[in-house]
């Protein structure tokens, strides 16, 4: 939980956040009379956020670590299939930035292929502020 707050804390700063956790003792950590230095640092980190810690029992926690629920017969060593069905990346789509056609038009002076006349006029109109004609030079 501390690692997650360090990593994603900037997303939840200033918002009421519910933390569903399978670790009941963390709720009672604040009432502990004597703590070590590590737990004190955790307290200081937790005070930055508006957190409500909700403990979920193991039966109710459907996103619990699947390795903790795994049952293997005693004495048998098997390879655990830890592949998730949606884990692999099948395609990558790259979208060029909005200004790419304008920059190419200003540098080369040609339009990209297969553009309509309306799209060509739009590129010329958007490129005017970036030319010496479009600037107010006195």
117-127 vs 100-108: helix crossing angle, rounded to 10: 80
Q: What is the Cβ-side half-sphere exposure of residue 58, based on CA atoms within 13 angstroms?
A: 5
Confidence of residue 61 (pLDDT cuts 50, 70, 90): low
Tokens of 8: 């994603």
Instruction: Write down the pLDDT at residue 118.
Output: 94
What lies within 8 Å, CB to CB, of 96 at 6+ separation is: none
Spatial distance between the Cα atoms of 67 and 70, rounded to a whole number of angstroms: 5
pLDDT over threshold 80, residue 30: no
Q: Per-residue pLDDT tens for 83-109?
A: 666 666 666 677 778 888 888 889 888
pLDDT mean across residues, the chain: 77
pTM score of the predicted model: 0.39
What is the share, in percent, of the chain residues with pLDDT greater than 70? 67
Is 138's pLDDT higher than 60? no
Domain map (residue ranges) of the chain: 2-55, 100-130
Residue 130 has pLDDT above 50, yes or no: yes
């Amino acid at each position: 939980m501390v690692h997650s707050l360090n990593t994603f804390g900037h997303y939840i700063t200033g918002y009421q956040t519910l933390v569903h956790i399978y670790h009941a003792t963390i709720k009672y950590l604040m009432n502990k009379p004597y703590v070590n230095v590590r737990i004190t640092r955790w307290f200081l980190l937790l005070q930055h956020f508006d957190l409500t810690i909700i403990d979920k029992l193991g039966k109710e926690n459907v996103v619990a670590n699947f390795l903790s629920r795994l049952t293997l017969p005693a004495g048998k060593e098997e390879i655990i299939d830890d592949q998730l069905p949606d884990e692999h990346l099948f395609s990558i789509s790259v979208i060029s930035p909005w200004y790419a056609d304008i920059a190419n038009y200003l540098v080369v002076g040609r339009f990209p292929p297969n553009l309509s006349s309306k799209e060509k006029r739009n590129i010329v109109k958007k490129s005017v502020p970036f030319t010496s004609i479009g600037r107010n030079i006195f």
